[in-house]
Structure 1
Amino acid sequence: MAGEGSMMHANTSLKNNRRNRKSRLENFVNTTSNGYTEFVDPNKATPEVLAEIREKLQVENKIILRKKIIITTAVLVLIIITLTVLNQFL
């Protein structure tokens, strides 16, 4: 019976931590800026800024996709070579 009470306290503590973390995160996001980039409020961003962000994300996604394709192709080639070598010895 004593173990149940301590678990209830742990669960309550976790719930409170989640609540506090969300409110801190919202405050952090709304006031963030650093020395390198100026904070841009998404509600006040101009269409030009949004187009620039969209283009940058598209370029980054294309690079990531290319890397995934190259890695997948390399792994498939290695698997095929390994299976070919194993079949010669069996």
Structure 2
Amino acid sequence: MAISRSDLVSALAEKADTTKSTADDVLSALADVLIDAVSKGEKVAIPGILSVERVSRAARTGRNPATGETIDIPAGYGVKVSAGSKLKAAAK
């Protein structure tokens, strides 16, 4: 089961002993910082929890599964999210 944004905001507000409005503002600010950093090619790390970074993807040849036709896929970027040690330990 996934936690919705409103559930996350409620949990953050309770843990931080603040209002839901403030928690929502902080969550939005975190998203903005992550998006800005990744778009600039910077790595963002929250030690023990996670790291987020932009990665390069090389150009490659693929195949259209419907027709079997070979297609060229241009180079581009993706996002890599890595779990930190505390997050990995929590998943056990």
TM-score for both structures, normalised by structure 2: 0.29
Q: Over alpha carbons, which structure has the higher Rg?
A: 1
TM-score for both structures, normalised by structure 1: 0.29
| Larger fraction in helix | 1
| Larger fraction in strand | 2
